[in-house]
Chain A
């Protein structure tokens, strides 16, 4: 037996009423919830009789909740509207009688344990689970940045007057901070405008500076688009690109890498923590392989920087990309580490800023913000790692447990502590995203339908997923402000959403 339409609509309308600031007319609620106003009027008059609603007069006339919504249970509401019975008739002594009795008491128990207040909390939520796409600027970061827009720092770092001087001092101290974090020399850090720019600089800059050695470049099959598309462009310029495959967890095939490196290979570029599936590569082994063969090794650490320790003094890495807006810093700020002696041509020619590697007047406030963001992230590393790993695993385990035909993408343990990527059979990601958005949950997907090219995620396909599995994938990425309560809310909503679209699908489980 089902809850009747009466109870369903009654609860919907009450939740709506609670979310309004003042009392409301039946008309307003009926419009908002798409319920006929005559029908709602009848429901409300019953609820009034039961003392759940009261009528307000005056300018803002209409109904309002009578009493504290924290004290009104759903069972009070449902009982006011109908007699929900699961038992067989009294005289009946059938064998299933005890089952029905259990259902009846379970039903009553659940309804009396939820209050109207909790019901309305379900709505109007806004839960951001797309931190891997971008993060909000930390308020402390913003506060640190603001003074650097002032006149004192208005100079070009290249100018010799005091304004240029003070700006230049600040940039150098920021550079030193990153050098300390990565355990390198400060002259090896250059500031850029984005990870995309850093990666473009590496691919194109190394390619053009080392043409005389060779024209062969190696990347993985799970690179971010900015590396992949730079490599594709280089192909049109006469360079040869090899893509190293990954296993089903997204880990690089090291034997294949060894075999693919040739005398004319000039660069190996492998993403560190993958942006989609979160798999973390073994930088030490890859670096060793490249080092032994005398090939430059670049890693795109946009997602992993400050989320996993990177000590460049111990790793054979020649170039590394890190980004500000992934770590609660401002957008438009990133860095590129270039080991001393690395042959690389700049992308931007001009006044010779950043040791001649990247001309452009430096964006002082953005660099200051990026630096502050990195300091905060390093300071909070242990705490954040512990908290987010817990939430991540809690979500992964519970989603896999409660939603049938769901599969984890990426590595179970060698993964970014904030990344969750799961495929659900027989559903499509774009529709899931939009439905989740109605519940206030922001996530992302590898579905073809949501990409501009209508191609499913190349990363998921590279791990051996079929297109239809990539189609039904969702990525939830956690961040500093994620909570267990948010995770619980997702666990409440997600099964309903998946069920809705599975019911719509022509394929049945």
Chain B
């Protein structure tokens, strides 16, 4: 049921494990099944003075799709500026994996949510302006989280 790409990332995930002294961490749990994903980001300034993802690692408790999407998100974002990284959607993730079964699409959201949360907390930490859109996105994720706890 999974594509070859999913299997590759699942069997040999890229950038997994924890990170010493990450700049920020984004952790989310998934509403549908209680799986958890954690992204560690090391953020630095590039030559143009923009914040970029110098290093990224993940830890995930979940199905093969969750592990594969985590791995692919680290690939898609490593070296990107935060602005670029925020533009990545779960559709990009699904595409990079040569598709996911419909029932597993929510797993790809998990990875995007973790990324969003990590960047959100970096913006907060460094007192950067947060757009209304971004704030809304963050609130939606937080809502899911609290609903999950009940």
**Which A-chain residue is minimally distant from B13 (CB atoms)?**
A504
Contact size range, A: 20 to 34
Measured CA separation A434–B9 after assembly (Å): 13
Name the B residues within 8 Å of A468 (CB-CB): 34
Instruction: Give complex CA distance A507, B11 in Å.
Output: 20
Q: Is B108 an interface residue (CB 8 A)?
A: no
Within 8 Å by CB of A434, from B10, B35, B59, lies B10
* Contacts A426-B61, A504-B60, A506-B61 given; does A431 touch B67 at CB 8 Å: yes
**What residues of B have a CB within 8 angstroms of the CB of A450 in the complex?**
63
B11 touching A438, Cβ below 8 Å? yes
Please state if A431 and B63 are interface contacts (CB–CB under 8 Å).
yes
Cβ proximity bits A321-354 to B, threshold 8 Å, 1 near / 0 not: 0000000000000000000000000000000000
Does B74 touch A at the CB level, under 8 Å? no
- The closest CB in chain A to the CB of B16 belongs to A504
Q: Interface digits, A489-506 against B, CB 8 Å rule (1 contact, 0 not)?
A: 000000000000101111
A-B contact count (CB 8 A): 65
A426 to B59, CA, bound (A): 12
B25 — nearest CB in chain A belongs to which residue?
A506
Asked if B33 and A507 sit within 8 Å, CB to CB, the answer is: no
The reply to whether B17 and A503 form a contact with Cβ atoms under 8 Å apart is yes
Interface of A is mostly: helix
A427 at interface by CB-CB < 8 Å: yes
> A430, B63: Cβ atoms under 8 Å?
yes
Contacts of A170 in B (CB 8 A): none
A346-385 contacts to B (CB < 8 Å): none
- List A contacts of B32 (CB < 8 A): 448, 454
**A506 near B34: Cβ-Cβ < 8 Å:** no
8 A Cβ contacts from A458-473 to B: 467-468, 471
The residues of A that contact B36 with a CB separation of less than 8 Å are 505-507
Chain A residues with CB below 8 A from B10, complex form: 431, 434
A34 vs B12: C-alpha distance in the bound complex, in angstroms? 11
B27 x A506 contact (CB < 8 A): yes
5 residue pairs A–B, Cβ–Cβ below 8 Å: A449-B66, A471-B33, A504-B13, A504-B16, A505-B60
Residues on A facing B (Cβ under 8 Å): 34, 426-428, 430-431, 434-435, 438, 447-450, 452, 454, 456, 467-468, 471, 501, 503-507
